[in-house]
Structure 1
Amino acid sequence: MKYLPLTSYPSNNQSALIIYCLGGRAKITVHEDVHWIQPEELIILLPGQFVSFSEPSEDFLTVTMVISASLFSDALSGVPRFSPHFFFYMRSHYWYPQSERDVPRMYNYLGMIKDKVTSQDIYRRELIIHLLRYLYLELFNAYQKESTLMTARRDTRKEELANKFFGLIMKHFKENKDVAFYADKLCITSKYLTMVIKETSGKSAKDWIVEYIILEIKALLKNTSLNIQEIAIKTNFANQSSLGRFFRKHTGMSLSQYRMSNLE
């Protein structure tokens, strides 16, 4: 595959992707982290990340697997207590150069998944889930070794709430901007949710909601086919004025200033 199923402007990725570069190079941006994909490099993208893809070389070629959000969720469901910090970690730890020893192993692994996808096995989905779970467990294992955020004692109940909160944000941030909505979904108070998210992530629940909204607005502004009114509708603002005030408050720029700065 030469062109990945991604846009040239940042967009909220709804699927998980496993990308293995066979040759050439291309630019990928995850949130604000920019990386040039190289040959024999593995790229792991998760649902809910803001991703853009551009400038592939003539010889750019990959093996790419698109994993639905439901399949991704099933793969993680058997993994005990993924920390919410793992998803922050994956914003900048999504590319993995493969050593000479790793390359044949990676070809074998991708081949196993491909064989199961095209097979008629009764338990085909379950086998694919287990293969994907193996990869995500390897990533989580690396995260646990490297992360300085891990502590000897963790409140797993709070981490579980944080995981559910971030899952809800990814689904509802466009139409629901109030902490109370998410607290109600989790059957807790807004005050308690704010405290838990601040404790587990270092930022408040409101800050995380705002971050996802701002990233979405920026992504839409980079799509020059959309006018401001259309962007206001897509992000569930009452009108252009309320969208503009919100954006300026959190970025210090007007909508037109940001759009022009990305066209230069």
Structure 2
Amino acid sequence: MKNKIATYSLAHHKSLFTDINNNKDYFYVQAKDHPYISEPYRAESYAIEFLRKGSIVMQTRLKKVVVHAPAIITLGPSVIRSFTKDGDEILIDIIFFKPQFFLHNQANVFFLSQYEFFDNSEMHVFNLEKKNKLKFEQIFSLLRQSLDNNSNHQPSILRGYLYILIYELDFIKQTILTETTQNSLFEKFKEILFKDFLHQRSVQYYADALNVTRKYLSEVIKNNSGKTASDWIEDIVVLEAKVLLQNKDLTINQISDILNFPNQSTFGRFFKKATEISPLEYRRKNI
């Protein structure tokens, strides 16, 4: 199903930052501005971003955060994301790369998927202490220099620096104490929700999956997030609907089927109640 969802191609990402276009499966940019895309979307490439100065508002799935420099942001292709402006001054380095580029000559085709920070909304942002900031400044500087030198070994050198980046980020993740104020039941609910929401919209289903009563689950989620379990289910369905509606190759009826509504009319009523506009109106505004 995922290959039916509209994504931002690597070429489209290039066009947002520069007029230069090529056929390479990777792209590096240092920018003093950011293409703030407030509507949710996915991308075909991975991205590792080094926010050197300023701040930016990022939403991944249903989690919205203000990211302050210095910080690293990691995003995998499957992640629904959007960005909005937080301040005027920003400096950010971004390396985009297609999975097939990175996995060239890599025996383990699941190498990238084993790192949760590319896909898990709780792990996308690494706030950097001084020593780590200096380290990533050096790595990104070397990475940029390698791309300025258009040698035959450029792809291999770039892959080498990407391995270093991933290993360094994994080391930081492993050394961070997992202190969280969020209830573990709430975290488990979100994990199951993001996996099963296309087929399961009943709070009772998630309560059963977590071996608790519906009432207790609802109380925990409300206490931890201020929203009900039903709100969480509705919000993730709406978010997925918005991404699908931006794919002009899918009819609204097909989208209704993908989202497992009994018919297009039911989907239309659901979407309009949640967003105050019809699916067709949303599509016209965003295509």
TM-score tier after normalising by the smaller chain length: 0.5 to 0.7
1:1-264 to 2 correspondence within 5 Å?
A: 1-2=26-27, 10-11=40-41, 17=46, 19-20=48-49, 30-31=59-60, 42-45=72-75, 49-51=79-81, 62=95, 64=97, 71-73=114-116, 87=122, 102-105=136-139, 111=160, 114=163, 132-136=169-173, 159-263=183-287
- State the alpha-carbon separation in 1 of the partners of residues 72 and 270 from structure 2: 38
The sequence identity of aligned pairs, in percent, is 30
Superposed displacement of residue 102, structure 1? 3.7
CA shift in 2, pair 1:71/1:107, >3 Å: farther
Q: Cα RMSD over matched residues? A: 4.8
* Structure 1 residues 153-193: Cα deviation after superposition (integer angstroms, max 9, x where no partner): x5xxx711111111001101111111111111001111111
Other structure's SS at 1:161 match: helix
Conservation of the 8 A alpha-carbon contact between 1:19 and 1:65: no
Q: TM-score by structure 2 length?
A: 0.55
Superposed displacement of residue 42, structure 1? 3.8
**Residue of structure 1 in register with 2:13 after alignment:** none
CA shift in 2, pair 1:111/1:103, >3 Å: farther
CA shift in 2, pair 1:252/1:95, >3 Å: farther
CA shift in 2, pair 1:13/1:188, >3 Å: farther
Superposed displacement of residue 41, structure 1? 7.7
CA shift in 2, pair 1:43/1:241, >3 Å: same
- State the alpha-carbon separation in 2 of the partners of residues 47 and 204 from structure 1: 29
Superposed displacement of residue 133, structure 1? 3.4
Q: TM-score by structure 1 length?
A: 0.59
Conservation of the 8 A alpha-carbon contact between 1:14 and 1:69: no
- State the alpha-carbon separation in 1 of the partners of residues 198 and 204 from structure 2: 15
CA shift in 2, pair 1:94/1:163, >3 Å: same
The number of equivalent residue pairs is 209
For structure 1, list consecutive stretches of 5 or more residues without a partner in the other structure: 22-26, 54-59, 77-83, 118-127, 145-149
Superposed displacement of residue 70, structure 1? 5.6
- State the alpha-carbon separation in 2 of the partners of residues 167 and 14 from structure 1: 23
Superposed displacement of residue 94, structure 1? 7.5
Code of the residue aligned with 1:133 in structure 2: it is D
Conservation of the 8 A alpha-carbon contact between 1:28 and 1:51: no
- State the alpha-carbon separation in 1 of the partners of residues 71 and 270 from structure 2: 39
Query: Counting strand residues as a fraction of each chain, which structure ranks higher?
Result: 2
* Structure 1 residues 122-152: Cα deviation after superposition (integer angstroms, max 9, x where no partner): xxxxxx6xx55323357x67x97xxxxx7xx
Code of the residue aligned with 2:95 in structure 1: it is T
